[in-house]
């Protein structure tokens, strides 16, 4: 449940000239019913209409992409790494901005929303994570790769063993995506206890612990 919205406006009962904190009780019909937190007076306040603009959004997911649109506040500043919700007829998904294409056809990491022509994004609520697995005996010619499908907020921890169905591996290192580097100290993390969320990961490295992985039978 979302936190009770609060606004600062004058109260006609106890503070007609100065703003006081009010709780927003209900909204509708262009007005909001609010309650002063100082004196408890309930009154109505006209809602200010926020000007929005429609922009194209390219969403990448699992090697495929599609284009849709999104409404954004006209006076907002946007930048790569930010996340927002995209709604289509097929699904509602959370995406992260990977690039901004401005109206002069250049790319930017930060821009005013009005100057953006297209948001380039990738889905981060459900993601694919590539994993490179080395055998315990260190034989590099037997290294193999798998792709996991996991929730974006699933956490991978260096030094721990993770199991997915018949697959099991202990993580030795994680390569973080370019658009998530600011969330971590380095692009490659490899100390025991280092944690990264699936939506931030480009590739996981580890030792194969699947019991039947190297069986001759």
Task: Identify the burial level of 136 via C-beta atoms within 10 angstroms of its C-beta, where 0-12 means exposed, 13-18 middle and 19 or more buried.
Answer: exposed
Which pLDDT value is given to residue 50?
Answer: 66
Same domain, 16 and 56: no
Same domain for 62 and 39: no
Q: Is 99 part of any domain? A: yes
Residue 164 in domain: yes
Of 31-40, 48-57, 60-69, the range with the lowest mean pLDDT is: 48-57
Percent of the chain with pLDDT over 90: 60
DSSP 122-182: EE-SEEEEEEEEE-TT--GGG-EEEEEEEETTPEEETTSEEEETTEEEEEEEEEEPGGGGG
Are 76 and 141 found together in one domain?
A: no
- Both 36 and 60 in one domain: the answer is no
Q: State the pLDDT confidence band at 6, using cuts at 50, 70 and 90.
A: confident
pLDDT of amino acid 138: 65
Structure tokens given for 2: 């979302």
**Cα gap 47→214, rounded to integer Å:** 66
Cβ neighbours of residue 44 under 8 Å, at least 6 residues apart? 31, 32, 33, 34
The mean per-residue pLDDT over the stretch 63-70 comes to 91
Q: Please report which confidence band the pLDDT of residue 123 belongs to, taking 50, 70 and 90 as the band edges.
A: very high
The reported pLDDT for the residue numbered 4 is: 60
Asked if residue 106 is part of any domain, the answer here is yes
DSSP 184: S
**Does residue 1 form part of some domain?**
no
What is the per-residue pLDDT for 140? 64
How many domains does the chain contain in total? 3
Q: Which residues make Cβ contacts (< 8 Å) with residue 10, sequence separation at least 6?
A: 16, 17, 18, 19, 20
Cα–Cα distance for residue pair 36/144, rounded to 1 Å:
63
Same-domain status, 116 and 58: yes
Concatenating the DSSP letter of every residue in 61-110 gives ETTEEEEEEEEEETT-EEETT-EEEEE-SS-EEEEEEEEEEETTS-EESE
213, part of any domain: no
- Looking at the predicted structure, is the pLDDT value of residue 176 above 50? yes
| Residue 58: per-residue pLDDT | 95
pLDDT of residue 110: 92
Mean pLDDT for the stretch of residues 31-45: 90
Of 73, 105, 123, the residue that ends a domain is 123
> Which pLDDT value is given to residue 3?
46
Is the same domain home to 40 and 60? Answer: no
pLDDT band at 217 (very low <50, low <70, confident <90, very high): very low
Residues 20, 117: Cα–Cα separation, whole Å: 39
| Mean pLDDT score, 43-72 | 87
- Structural domain contains residue 157: yes
Q: If you average pLDDT over residues 159-181, what whole number do you get?
A: 94
176 and 110 together in one domain: no
The predicted structure's pLDDT at residue 12:
93
Domain ranges, residue 133: 126-208
Q: Of 60, 70, 81, which Cα lies nearest the Cα of 113?
A: 70
Please check whether residue 98 is in contact with residue 120, taking contact to mean a CB–CB distance below 8 angstroms: yes
Select from 151, 98, 87 the least CA-distant residue to 122.
98
One domain for residues 112 and 131: no
Confidence of residue 1 (pLDDT cuts 50, 70, 90): very low
Same domain, 134 and 202: yes
């Amino acid at each position: 449940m979302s936190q009770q919205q609060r606004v600062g406006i004058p109260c006609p009962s106890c503070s007609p000239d100065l703003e006081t904190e009010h709780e927003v009780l209900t909204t509708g019909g262009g007005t909001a019913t609010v309650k002063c937190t100082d004196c408890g007076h309930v009154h109505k306040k006209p809602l200010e209409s926020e000007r929005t603009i429609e922009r194209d959004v390219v969403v990448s997911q699992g090697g495929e992409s599609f284009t849709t649109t999104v409404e954004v506040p006209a006076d907002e500043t946007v930048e790569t790494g930010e996340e927002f919700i995209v709604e289509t007829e097929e699904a509602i998904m959370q995406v992260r901005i990977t690039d901004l294409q401005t109206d002069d056809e250049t790319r930017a990491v930060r821009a005013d929303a009005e100057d953006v022509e297209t948001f380039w994004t990738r889905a981060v609520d459900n993601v694919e994570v590539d994993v490179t697995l080395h055998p315990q005996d260190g034989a590099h010619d037997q290294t193999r790769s798998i792709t996991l499908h996991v929730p974006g907020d699933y956490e991978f921890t260096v030094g721990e063993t993770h199991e997915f169905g018949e697959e099991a591996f202990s993580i030795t290192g994680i390569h973080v995506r370019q658009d998530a580097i600011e969330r971590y100290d380095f692009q490659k993390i490899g100390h025991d206890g280092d944690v990264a969320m699936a939506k931030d990961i480009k590739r996981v490295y580890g030792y194969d612990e699947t019991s039947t992985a190297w069986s001759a039978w």
